[in-house]
Amino acid sequence: MKYIEDLRGKHKGENIWVLGTGPSMDAYPLNWFSGLTCIGVNWSFSTFLDIGDKLEKYKTKKFYIVAAHRQPADWVAEHTPQYLKDCFLLSPPSFRRGMIWHENYNDDPYYMKWGLCGGGGVRASGQELIDTVDCIMKGKRECKYVCSGTTLHWAIEAAAVLGAKKIWIAGAEGVGGHQEKHGSLYPILYKGPQVHRAGQFFHTGTKHLADALRSHGIKVVYYYYGKGEQRP
């Protein structure tokens, strides 16, 4: 298995954008992300990568995918396996139904060790988020990555490993689940039940990460097209 730490500092000093699938993404012109390094959460890849749907896509310099649930990872593996090499997949310590398990994929993806915390393994405390940031910034191998209700937090942590000096968060309203279509630009690839609402865990966890990363000189901001940046 390859771990994300193999790519530590690959984008050192860059601005890295972490992109969700929220409705605010519809406001961005398709060329807004040109020349930028981006990390997409779950199904956001559908409007950034060529998935054979003949739709015009957002343009980026580099696009990575972060996922913990099997649905998006399985879709990529089956339909566009060439993108697996740019996937950061959360690896739990043991098999979990519906979640990614490394034996289901080839050797292309990079893995992030999932540090299971709280209910469902996704209710990390503020201190647990801070501990993850400390591990990243100390340059340790195979840190345990945690989140508080949203894959977005893993994507922020991935950006820190890659060496971001500033992490911009877009399309991350925290209203809806990992399987849900939000913006009108996103085709529905998964037609299962709409589940999981991030709620306050989303915003509080993001703030904890932003505060912890700020102490290491990394700025984290929300950005809304036409409105500018906001502090988490």
Alpha helices in the chain (DSSP H): 70-79, 126-137, 151-162, 199-214
Residues 5-31 pLDDT 10s? 999 999 999 999 999 887 788 889 999
Residues 53-62 pLDDT 10s? 888 889 999 9
Average pLDDT, rounded, for the chain? 89
Through-space distance between the first and last CA atoms of the chain, rounded to whole angstroms? 34
* Dihedral angle over CA of 160, 80, 2, 122, nearest 10: 50
Q: What is the pLDDT of residue 190?
A: 52
Domain boundaries, given as residue ranges, for the chain: 2-230
Residue 15 CB coordination number (10 Å): 14
Q: Please check the confidence at residue 88 and state whether its pLDDT lies above 60.
A: yes
Q: Looking up tokens 């994507």, which residue turns up?
A: 155
Residues 141-166 pLDDT 10s? 889 999 998 899 999 999 999 999 99
Tokens, residue 171: 């399309």
Q: Please check the confidence at residue 169 and state whether its pLDDT lies above 90.
A: yes
Residues 176-217 pLDDT 10s? 443 344 444 555 555 554 444 445 557 889 999 999 999 999
